[in-house]
Structure 1
Amino acid sequence: MPIVLSDASFSYPDGSLAVDSVTLRINDGERIAIVGQNGAGKTTTVKMMNGLLKPSSGSVTVDGLATTDQTTATTARTVGYVFQNPDDQIFGSDVQGELEYMPKYLKWDAEVTEQRVGRAAKMTGIRRFLKVNPNDLPFAIKKFVAIGAILVGDCKYVILDEPTAGLDDRGLKLLNRMMDQLEAEGVAVIAITHDMRFVVDSFTRVVAMANRKIIADGSCEEVFGNDDVLSRAKLKRPEVPQLARELGLSTTALHLNAVVALIR
């Protein structure tokens, strides 16, 4: 069953509105990028998905259960959230201890723990760092440690907040391989990102937000080909479709090989 936000709004105690009547459905195995400028409501929206924030009005359900009827810890076991800054999430004295925290807290069987930790370490490329203190690792590696700690659990949905920040090409390739595996396993990936190239290369669905509302929900071609959406969300058109436009070609061409084919 999906994550469903139905006219979900969130206001802070001082009355300021952070998200205004958002309606959104996320199905198993989807890859969705949520884009928009700072203050658009992206982070508040995804925090409502995993129970870190409860809607002030409307509803948010995960697999048919309202988040308001569950503890944050319960919802987070189904909807994992990886923070933008890994230092806000990591607290273990070594990487293995970080990955084993959830299994120990939930008192998993030792064999299951070993299997899940090994899987997460392999997917995130951090097996050789298991005995290292996370504080001694480069920022990019720490990001994968934070992701691995979430993947140890049996999440059906994984939220990644600015996952490409600080990653080089090797890290981007690893991130995409990981998302490919999650998709193959039926795990949905929801990413908040300002990296439009990453969006075009890695996602099939884009949700654009502006002024605390969703203003577009569709394919990359639909969203990045819509001048009004780009203007309202204050987004720059990705490099390849911008090049296509400057050449007088179709702005729905998202990849360089497609532009080359149009020129020929």
Structure 2
Amino acid sequence: MIIRVDSLTFRYPTGTTALDGVSFQVAAGERVAIVGANGAGKSTLARHLVGIERPASGTIEIDGRRTDGLGIAELARTVGFVFQNPDDQLHAASVVKEVGFGPRNLRFPPARRAELVESALRLTGLTQWRDTHPHHLSLGVRKRVALASVLAMDTPVVVLDEPTTGQDHASVVLLGNLVDGLAADGRTVLTVTHDMDFCVEHFDRVIVLAGGRIAWDGPVAHWPAYVADAADGSLELPQMTRLGHRLGWERPVTTVTGFLDRLSPGPGPAPVPSTSP
């Protein structure tokens, strides 16, 4: 078990309760999407995992250690956090310096630091911009710089806050491949997202937050049924599921692959050659 959240409650100084008794566990290597309407508490929950916010009550354990006794710098060795807005994260004068900042602060040996930086640049498609100032790049590319800076820290847990916002299709595909690759390496990935298609394509489990509480927690394959039955309409079904409904399919599909498989004809007799001249 790598993450354990128990009865987590958080209130803002205004008195607004953002999280109200949230409890869940995440095993090593899981891919978990946290979804819900605006104001449900998703980003607040994510910020607790890296110590940016601290609970009013309840506890968080990461890798067997309670976070209330750990500073942000110490938690950064275990949890890498990619902000929704990259401009809240980026500060260095070049992409390569930005990506190298984390591993340098963690005091990795120079050889390992160089290897991690080059790997992160390559995986995020940023090698061509290594010497460019991050703020001279587009929003989508800046988000990739923020992601690369976290990947270079080689943390066992990676938390992504709305990673697909402002990204074009190619960048979303790249991001999905990265999530799949992190999971294949045994790393734990959590994302806060409104992108339902990204969620069903690349995550194993969904936690639905509503009003600061967990409304549903289960495998991604069962999640569309929950959305279809939800009365408030705050969540949207994946595109392929909606298209399947329009086509009259009773059994839902969620992914593009599943949709194409449903369209493919099953095995049958070989076609009879034509005898016409």
Question: TM-score w.r.t. structure 1 length?
Answer: 0.93
Separation of aligned partners in 1, 2:227 and 2:93: 49
Change (3 A) 1:25 1:229: farther
In structure 2, the residue matched to 1:202 is 202
Counterpart check, 1:225 vs 2:225: yes
Shift of 1:253: 2.0
- 1:69 partner amino acid: G
Q: How does 1:102-113 map to 2 (within 5 A)?
A: 102-113=102-113
Q: What count of residue pairs does the alignment treat as equivalent? A: 264
Separation of aligned partners in 1, 2:230 and 2:79: 29
8 Å Cα contact 1:216/1:229 also seen in 2 = no
- 1:257 partner amino acid: L
Separation of aligned partners in 1, 2:244 and 2:265: 9
Change (3 A) 1:34 1:263: farther
Shift of 1:196: 1.0
Identity of aligned residues (%): 34
For structure 2, the residue ranges without an aligned partner over 5 or more in a row are 268-277
In structure 1, the residue matched to 2:162 is 162
Counterpart check, 1:143 vs 2:117: no
In structure 1, the residue matched to 2:71 is 71
Separation of aligned partners in 2, 1:197 and 1:111: 39
Separation of aligned partners in 1, 2:47 and 2:135: 26
Change (3 A) 1:111 1:15: same
Change (3 A) 1:228 1:172: closer
8 Å Cα contact 1:182/1:188 also seen in 2 = yes
Separation of aligned partners in 2, 1:80 and 1:186: 15
8 Å Cα contact 2:81/2:150 also seen in 1 = yes
Counterpart check, 1:80 vs 2:80: yes
SS in 2 for 1:183: helix
Q: Deviations over 1:188-224 (max 9, x none)?
A: 1111111111112221211111111111111223121
Q: Deviations over 1:143-192 (max 9, x none)?
A: 11100111111211111111111111211121112112211111111111
Change (3 A) 1:104 1:76: closer
In structure 1, the residue matched to 2:45 is 45
Moved >3 Å (runs of 4+): 227-233, 261-264
Shift of 1:73: 1.6
Change (3 A) 1:111 1:227: closer
- 2:89 partner amino acid: Q
Separation of aligned partners in 1, 2:230 and 2:265: 24
Q: Once structures 1 and 2 are overlaid, which stretch shifts more, 106-115 or 157-166?
A: 106-115
Separation of aligned partners in 2, 1:166 and 1:202: 18
- Which structure has the greater CA radius of gyration? 2
Please report the RMSD computed on the Cα atoms of aligned residues, expressed in angstroms.
Answer: 2.0
Counterpart check, 1:257 vs 2:270: no
Q: How does 1:174-185 map to 2 (within 5 A)?
A: 174-185=174-185
Q: Deviations over 1:40-90 (max 9, x none)?
A: 010111111121111111111101111101112211221111011111100
Shift of 1:227: 4.5
Q: Once structures 1 and 2 are overlaid, which stretch shifts more, 180-189 or 231-240?
A: 231-240
User: Between Structure 1 and Structure 2, which shows a larger proportion of helix residues?
Assistant: 1
Change (3 A) 1:112 1:124: same
In structure 2, the residue matched to 1:97 is 97
- 2:260 partner amino acid: N
